[in-house]
Amino acid sequence: MINEYLQKIVNFFIHLKNSFRRIFNHIGASIRLFVRSPASIFLLIIYPMILLLLFGSIYANEDVFTFHLEVQDFDDTQFSEGLIQDLDNQDILEVHQLATNIDPKIYLQENSLHSCLVIPVNWTASSYDIGSGTTNVTLILDPNSNNARRVADIVIKTVKDYSLAISDEEPLIGIIEENFVSDAVSYIDFFIPGIIGVIIMNTGILGVINRQVFFKSTGLFRKLATTPITRWEYATAEIGWQYIIAFITTLLAILLAWIVFSFSWASFDELVPLILFVGVLVFSGIGLLISQLVRNPNNALAIGYLVTLPMFFLSGIFFDISGIPALVVISKFSPLTYIVEALRNSMINRNFNYAWANIGIAFAIGITALVVGVFLTKWDSDKK
């Protein structure tokens, strides 16, 4: 009896090992087919990069490499003026002095700004008082702004250099950081999650349909029916391959945005790979479903474009649709909306509860589409 149970366990792991071997073999074949297809490389990698450069160049702030810094000087001495002058001498900083009777956080919020340096009263006297230790200035930052973090790095370095110019032994000036929440989001910050959503959608729907059409037209499905690979193993391999492409293309998009538009890598947080996976699950399931419902392979890709184009324009990729009630309602019927909202709440707003809610909805849609698509898949009925 014990030997029978042990044999069942051994057989289970042997079957699991063979299953993984078949899945990875299929992924390897997919990689070889992809690199041999210029059309697939253009559609899934080059096309999203063109969209990023085109719309990023049109709508992003023209003064990309100049960052604004407000300075509120309560000390008003030659010593504080020297620090402000050093900051202003930084080529990529544009320094504006803020009146001392203004609340800096309210001013930043109302004017869609992201950073302010506050120099306290009697700062000079405290800095030269050896017994007082390090004297601090306060740097107020918007934690959701990529530009604010860049400004912080510049300010910290400048303050350190200014302090060392006064005292070679130890820093006299320190920095205290304070956060404030701003509603201001730059266009490139808003657009990058949208373009990642487009990458996932194109990879999942158009990528899967394109491969299904190729497999049907070449009779590969009928050959797969004669092999040990199951429909679920095939679907798992397809999702794994589409995830690899989506992940690589997403990294390339962020790299390009970082080089051209100074987008921050810090936005690529721990939730993004999970959202990519859920998005691939959703759109691969939809792609598989479309390719099985449309019997004529020549029509499948056209139907895929008919499905993706409305989502492309109605899911808030290029502009915020929250102020248009009709579009808000329509967008709820688009799976892309939930993926993009999850990405924006993770990468921009840091509203992880809302991000998880959108992930859950998208996951439910993806599982449903995948199960139905796999159920409808019948390899032996496909004809050359």
Q: 178 has which bridge partners?
A: 140
Give the residue from 303, 302, 287, 318 showing the smallest Cα distance to 198: 318
Residues 224-234: pLDDT tens digits? Answer: 777 787 888 88
Decide if pLDDT at 277 tops 90. yes
Q: What ranges make up the beta strands (E) of the chain?
A: 67-73, 93-97, 115-119, 135-141, 173-179
CATH of domain 67-179: 3.40.1710.10
What pLDDT score was predicted for residue 384? 45
pLDDT in the model for residue 96:
92
Residue 60 has pLDDT above 70, yes or no: no
The confidence score (pLDDT) of residue 342 equals 92
Express each pLDDT in 118-169 by its tens digit. Answer: 998 887 777 666 545 557 889 998 766 667 777 888 888 888 888 777 665 5
| CA triple 59-60-64, angle to 5 deg | 150
pLDDT of 168-205, one tens digit each? 555 567 788 887 765 555 667 778 888 899 889 988 88
The CA-to-CA distance between both ends of the chain, in Å, stands at: 50
Residue ranges covered by each domain of the chain: 23-59+186-381, 67-179
Rg (alpha carbons) of the chain, rounded to whole number: 27
The pTM of the whole model exceeds 0.75: no
Q: Does residue 23 carry a pLDDT above 90?
A: no
Residue 41: per-residue pLDDT? 78
